[in-house]
Amino acid sequence: MATTASSHAAQDAGSPAASAATHERSPFARLTELLAPYQPGLPLITLSLGEPQHPVPSFVGPVLAKHINEFGRYPIARGIEPFRRAVANWLGARFGLPRAVDPETEILVLNGSREGLFFAALTAARYVGARKGTPAILVPNPFYPAYGAGARAANCETVFLPTTRANGFLPDLDALDEATLARTVAIYLASPANPQGAVASRDYFSRLHALAIRHGFMVLADECYSEIYTLGAPGSALECAGPDFSNVVAFQSLSKRSNLPGMRIGFAAGDKNFLAAFHELRNVAAPQVPVPLQHVAVAAYSDEAHVEENRRLYRLKFDLADQILGNRYGYVRPAGGFCVWLDVSARGGDEAATVKLYKEAGVRVVPGSYLARPQADGSNPGAGYIRLALVQDSETTAEALHRLVKTLD
C-alpha cells in the first residue's frame, strides 16, 4: 500500500485551519484543557509526563562545583573537546559501530535532543538539495512533537507514517512509494519508539539506510530512550550507516539515561558533512550549552553504574505492570523506553478513559490521539490508546496500576 502525503489542513476534519491549529498544539496543553472541569477523585498520581523521577546521580553536584567559574564565559557551539571525546568513547563501547566516531567532525553537543531534532529539520531542508516535488519530511505517527514543529519550520510537508500493532509500531518501509521517497528531505525515526517502546532491528536500520542513500535524504534517528530497556540492549542507526555514517545522524540525551531532564544536554553524531552544515546553523541560531554542564556529561558518559541502577528500577516497575495488568488492554512489556501503551477502545476510547481515570482514580494519563495526527483517511493511529509513563517510584506505580485496573474493569 502506498503512503500518500496530505497537508495538515487536508488531513484534519472540520474547519481545516481550526483543526490544524488544534492538532499542532502540545498534547499536554490539550490534556490540561480536557481535565480542567474535573478534580482528581483520589490523591493525584501523574503518569502523563515522561519526566524521570529517579535520583540525580551523586557526581552531578561535585562536578558542577568544580567547574562553577566556567559559567562566566561563552561556550563554543560544537562542544568542548573532553565532552566530544567522552561521547565518542561511549558510542564505541556501547554500539557495534563500523568504526570509531571522530570527535572532531562527527559529534556536536546539544541542549537536549529536542532542540537538535528541531534544528535538524531546518538543516536537512537546505542540505539535501532540490526534491522531485514538494519537499517532505516523514514522521512516525504517533510522534514526538518536535518532529512536526521542525518539519513546519522547514517549510516541508509533514507525511505521517502510521505506527500500529500491525506493523510492529514502526513505520512500514514497504508502504513508501517512489514518488514520496523522491521528494523526501528527511525521516524521523524513534527507536525505542515513543510511546510504544518498539525497537528497530539491524535489518530495519539497514533497509532504511539503503533508501536514504538511494533517494538522497537524511535519517534523523532519535535514540534518547536507548539506555532504558528490559529485553536486550537496542542498537543504533549508526551501526548500519556504513563506514562514513552517510545520511544518518543519531540524537541522544542524558534526560532518560542519567535522570537529568532539567540539565538539557545531549548530542548529535554521524554524517560529518551534514553535521558541518548543522553546526553552521546552530552556531548562529541555537543556545549554547554551558561548559559546567558539559563536564557533568563527561562524568555521566564515563560511568555506567548509575545507568545500570536506573534500568534496574525501571525493570522492577515493568515487573509490576506484568503482574497487575496481565494481558488486559493489549498490554505487552515494551522492548525499550519507560512507557506503557494501553488499548482502551473497549472502555469508551482514549479521551473518555483519561477523564474516568482522573475523576475516579486520581491517575493522570495521556490520550493516545493527542500524541498522533489524523491520517489522510481520517484515522488516528493513537486513537483508542492511553500512554502511561512509569516514572514514579515502584510503590506509587503499583498504586496507580491497581487504581487503573479497578477503575477501567
Report whether 351 contacts 367 (CB < 8 A). Answer: yes
φ, ψ of residue 336 in degrees (nearest 5): -155, 170
Query: Grid coordinates representing 69?
Result: 567559574
CA atoms within 13 A on the CB side of 230: 19
Between 1 and 269, name the one with better pLDDT. 269
Domains and CATH numbers, the chain: 13-55+306-408 (3.90.1150.10), 60-302 (3.40.640.10)
Report whether 83 contacts 91 (CB < 8 A). Answer: no
Residue 21 pLDDT: 52
Query: Grid coordinates representing 283?
Result: 552556531
Q: Is the pLDDT of residue 54 over 70?
A: yes
Q: Is the pLDDT of residue 23 over 70?
A: no
CA atoms within 13 A on the CB side of 147: 28
What is the mean predicted confidence (pLDDT) over 201-219?
Answer: 98
Assign 230 a pLDDT band (cuts: 50, 70, 90): confident
Query: Grid coordinates representing 230?
Result: 528490559
133-143 residue pLDDT tens: 999 999 999 99
28-50 residue pLDDT tens: 999 999 999 999 999 999 999 99
Report whether 271 contacts 278 (CB < 8 A). Answer: no
Please tell me the total number of residues recorded for the chain in this structure: 409
φ, ψ of residue 249 in degrees (nearest 5): -130, 130
pTM as predicted: 0.93
Peptide bond between residue 142 and the one before it cis (omega within 30 degrees of 0) = yes
132-180 residue pLDDT tens: 999 999 999 999 999 999 999 999 999 999 999 999 999 999 999 999 9
Average pLDDT, the chain: 93
Report how far residue 112's alpha carbon sits from residue 130's, in angstroms, rounded to the nearest whole number: 30
Q: Is the pLDDT of residue 5 over 70?
A: no
Q: Is the pLDDT of residue 405 over 60?
A: yes
Residue 19 pLDDT: 43
What is the mean predicted confidence (pLDDT) over 58-80?
Answer: 96
263-284 residue pLDDT tens: 999 999 999 999 999 999 999 9
Q: Is the pLDDT of residue 301 over 80?
A: yes
370-392 residue pLDDT tens: 999 999 999 999 999 999 999 99
What is the mean predicted confidence (pLDDT) over 115-131?
Answer: 95
Which H/E stretch holds residue 340?
Answer: strand 339-343
Query: Grid coordinates representing 291?
Result: 561548559
Q: Is the pLDDT of residue 10 over 60?
A: no
